[in-house]
Amino acid sequence: MKATHLVSTLAAGLGLALAPCLAQAQEKKPVELRYTTGAPPTGNPWVMQINRLAKYAEEDSKGEIKVQPFFGSQLGSEQDTVQQVARGRIDMGGFSSGSAALVVPEITLLTMPGYFRDLAEQDCVLDNHLVKLTTELFDKKGVRFLGWGEVGAVELFGKKAYAAPKDMNGVKAAAYANKTQTVFYASLGATAIPLGLPEWIPAFQTGMAEVVQTVITYALPSGLTKVAPVVTRYGLSNAPSVTLINKAVFEKLSKPQQDALIKVGERAPSSLLRAEIRGFENTLYGMMEKAGGQVMTLTPDQREVWRKTLEPNHAKVVDDLGAGGKAYFAAMEAGRKACTK
């Protein structure tokens, strides 16, 4: 056999041997995870936080995970997409506790106005006393809980101020479809109208809604303050958010890929996420006033009137949630007791 023919034969054989390996390498593509959020695509810290999550996940998985964010409710309203994550139609997302309560109703207890004494107490209870139970509850619904985030202080946005609870009587209020807001508005004589985030602005424009409870970090960037230019800062509710991924999607990932997603929460913990959002709030209120909006901050006495009016709602919300609600509330109470020691 001639040398040239031998070389050709060996090369051909080597090529055949390597072909499956090369094909496998070419076929191995990053796992793409669609991340849904109601956050507007610009002008808010959530964009930075979600893009950072995607960056950390890619880095720590060595390029094996690509998180693709869809901002501004591109895949649907929070109320719809949180349930799609539970069903596996969307991979993952970040959700307000109000929307997450559609999957795990007990989460609505975290948004009860006037329950937590201050932000420090709330943060302590969430981080040190509710992670395990919250993880278990979402797990039963086919969802993996990846950690707490922050939405911000929930205030009243409308066309006028609401200095006292009686001012809410007869008002039409845009609301999440959960027990807390239903009970809250009913106790004030207001009518709760369930609406998704994209529906809020049109509702104010048509007169369908006159007030909504939300955060300045959403209200200003989204343009809501243009149709609801007066905010009443009553300081009785602060809304955590949750990062969720479909359980089946998570379990299909390799162990290193799963660890990469979990490590995101270590590199950017809930304490950092909260600090970023809360630090931005006062800046936005200043911007709102410069744009012609009005910011009314209640006095301590006015705030106490609100607190006393709303406090009886807590027991009713808990009772409406049945045994699960009572168990979650018991964990909240135990956490609050531990956090005050």
What is the DSSP secondary-structure string of 13-51? HHHHHHHHHHHHHHH--PEEEEEE--S-SSSSHHHHHHH
Q: What's the pLDDT band for 16 if we cut at 50, 70, 90?
A: very low
Tokens of 169: 């009587």
At position 186, the amino acid (one-letter code) is A
Per-chain mean pLDDT for the chain: 90
Cβ neighbours of residue 141 under 8 Å, at least 6 residues apart?
Answer: 86, 103, 104
For the chain, domains (ranges, CATH) are: 29-339 (3.40.190.170)
Q: pTM for the whole thing?
A: 0.81
In this predicted structure, the answer to whether residue 14 has a pLDDT above a threshold of 50 is: no
Q: Which amino acid is at 163?
A: A
pLDDT confidence tier of residue 5, bands split at 50, 70 and 90: low
Q: Which residue has the higher pLDDT, 79 or 251?
A: 251
Confidence of residue 177 (pLDDT cuts 50, 70, 90): low
How does residue 27 score in pLDDT terms, banded at 50, 70 and 90? low
Residue 280 pLDDT exceeds 60: yes
Instruction: Give start and end residues of each alpha helix (H) in the chain.
Output: 3-27, 45-60, 78-87, 97-100, 119-129, 131-140, 179-187, 197-206, 216-222, 224-227, 247-252, 255-267, 270-290, 300-310, 313-320, 322-339
Buried b (16+ CB within 10 A) or exposed e, 231-254: bbbbbbbbbbbbbbbbbebbeebe
Portion of the chain with pLDDT greater than 70, in percent: 91
Rounded to whole angstroms, how far apart are CA atoms 257 and 161?
A: 49
Give me the mean pLDDT over the 11-20 stretch: 47
What's the pLDDT tens digit per position in 200-220?
A: 999 999 999 999 999 898 899
What was the pLDDT predicted at 19? Answer: 47
pLDDT of residue 23 exceeding 80, the answer is no
Per-residue model confidence (pLDDT) at position 240: 94
pLDDT at 178: 66
> Is the pLDDT confidence value at 87 over 90?
yes
Q: What's the confidence (pLDDT) of residue 44?
A: 82
Q: Please report where in the chains the tokens 């909260």 appear, as a residue.
A: 274
